Amino acid sequence: MSSTLFNFKIIDSHTGGEPTRMVYAGFPELTGDTIQDKLQCFKQNFDHLRQSIILEPRGNEVLVGALLLPATNPDATAGVIFFNNTGYLGMCGHGTIGVIASLAYQQKISAGEHWLETSVGLVKATLHDDGSCSVQNVPSYRYKKQVAVQVPNVGLIRGDIAWGGNWFFLVSDHGQDIHASNVKPLTHICLQIKQALIAASITGEDGGEIDHIELFADSDDAQADSKNFVLCPGGAYDRSPCGTGTSAKLACLAADNRLAPEQPWQQQGVVGSVFTGSYQYATDRHSPSELNSLNDHNNSNDLTHLEPRVVPTICGYAHVCAETLLIVQEDDPFQWGIPS
Ligand code: PYC
């Protein structure tokens, strides 16, 4: 009889269709004084466990993992490291909503405010009485406006580069039908855009890879302001409207003066679920009027430090769909997943 190497206790949920797997017990202790140290420890010593939890046969390429940790920051209730089939995510909006729904299901938290520590900063999650959750994300901003990239077999594509807790390339002019029946061609063009950005060495401000591609179109739903399709780093598309992608969108809308602070923005995802977003200006930065006068003197599309930083809030619903134990046996040839 084979012995068991790991038993991971998990709760699976989905947020507007996008799954989150919260791991709350069974993971080895991560050393380090900060969540960034713990992330390094995870990457260096336990990446095989990421693969075991996310990849087939225990998981699938759409899943986002959320490892629950004791907070290292005294202001936070808990820490969380997000990961997927190819690596690690700075922040994850749908994942945060999923973690809050899972903690509420376990009766570890009740309605109210809960601060979570992520590797890119503190986020505030408010669980409402109706079960919805608002996530006040990390400060978000547009780094560059309408950057052109030549995409082989497609042509010149222009997009904004923005930070919403991950790096996004946001494209409105793409000629695609954003519809659930069209996800294969949408995935294909987003992969081509991503490859073209890499080939042209176009990155986020810190040199970070732009690993999320986001296409926008008008929605058929009169309630929604926009519909999106978001390609995630591992090649799967986001079934939800993407919390960090909606944050990046809000930063662009704020920078273009197309949405006022506190004004709601209904972002629909490709399978039809909706997040409601809004923003406030980050208080530690230039005011928008100061930025306008700085922008008047800036002729390039490199808007580094000249665009408003916003603090987005994204609201949506998650539903718990499984509570189980993932078992890793010593003699399992796929104990660390099937490499994709
Ligand atoms: O909701 O922020 C998000 C997200 C990122 C990747 C998948 N979902």
Q: What is the mean pLDDT of residues 319-333?
A: 98
- Work out the pLDDT band at 304, boundaries 50, 70, 90: low
Q: What pLDDT is attached to residue 288? A: 52
Ligand 1 center–CA 156 separation, angstroms: 27
Ligand 1 center–CA 16 separation, angstroms: 11
Ligand 1 atom closest to the CA of 96, numbered from 1: 1
- Work out the pLDDT band at 284, boundaries 50, 70, 90: low
Task: Looking at the chain, list the stretches that DSSP marks H as alpha helix, in order from N- to C-terminal side.
Answer: 35-45, 47-54, 93-105, 183-199, 243-255, 288-296
pLDDT in tens, 228-276: 999 999 999 999 999 999 999 999 999 999 999 999 999 999 999 999 9
Strands 4-15 and 18-25: antiparallel
Look up the pTM and report it. Answer: 0.94
Query: Cβ < 6 Å from ligand 1: which residues?
Result: 18, 64, 89, 92-94, 232, 238, 240, 242-244
Q: What pLDDT is attached to residue 224? A: 98
Helix (H, G, I), strand (E, B) or coil at 199: helix
pLDDT exceeds 60 at position 287: no
Ligand 1 atom closest to the CA of 92, numbered from 1: 2
pLDDT in tens, 134-183: 999 999 999 999 999 999 999 999 999 999 999 999 999 999 999 999 99
Spell out the residues 6+ positions from residue 238 whose beta carbon is closer than 8 angstroms to its own: 18, 94, 230, 231, 232, 245, 269, 270
Q: What pLDDT is attached to residue 296? A: 52
Burial 9-27 (b: 16+ CB within 10 A, else e): ebbbbbbbbbbbbbbbebb
Q: What is the mean pLDDT of residues 311-324?
A: 98
pLDDT in tens, 8-55: 999 999 999 999 999 999 999 999 999 999 999 999 999 999 999 999
pLDDT exceeds 90 at position 303: no
Ligand 1 center–CA 243 separation, angstroms: 6
Strands 155-163 and 310-316: unpaired
Q: What pLDDT is attached to residue 340? A: 76
- What's the CA gap between 288 and 121, in Å, rounded? 23
Mean pLDDT across the chain: 94
pLDDT in tens, 193-205: 999 999 999 999 9
Ligand 1 atom closest to the CA of 94, numbered from 1: 1
Q: What is the mean pLDDT of residues 290-300?
A: 51
pLDDT exceeds 60 at position 292: no
Q: What pLDDT is attached to residue 258? A: 97
Residue 171 contacts residue 179 (beta carbons within 8 Å): no
- What's the CA gap between 138 and 118, in Å, rounded? 9
